Amino acid sequence: MRRKKPSDDAPVGFSAHLEYLFHITCKECGFYWTYAAMQKGFDIQKRAYNCPNCGHNGKIELEDEVQP
């Protein structure tokens, strides 16, 4: 017999929205930061960005998803 988890009977108490979070590393200084988008098809490679640490300007190359 399956034991009931305490959360099975819990009422809905929260709402949430899915966010896509890009992890960006500067090729110039190695600084790491994140960029959040709410649209599934958001194209991070479309425009140039500036590194918040060193100011380096350039486009972003999107790599493959990290596998767990």
- The residues of the shown chain that bind Zn ion, judged by CB under 5 A, are 26, 28-29, 31, 51, 53-54, 56
Q: Are 53 and 29 in contact (CB under 8 A)?
A: yes
* Paired tokens of 38: 């709410």
Q: How far is the CB of 36 from Zn ion (least distance, A)?
A: 19
Query: Under DSSP, is residue 17 helix (H, G, I), strand (E, B) or coil?
Result: coil
Q: How far is the CB of 35 from Zn ion (least distance, A)?
A: 14
List phi, psi (to 5°) of 48.
Answer: -90, 155
Residue closer to Zn ion by CB (options 20, 52) is 52
Q: How far is the CB of 52 from Zn ion (least distance, A)?
A: 8
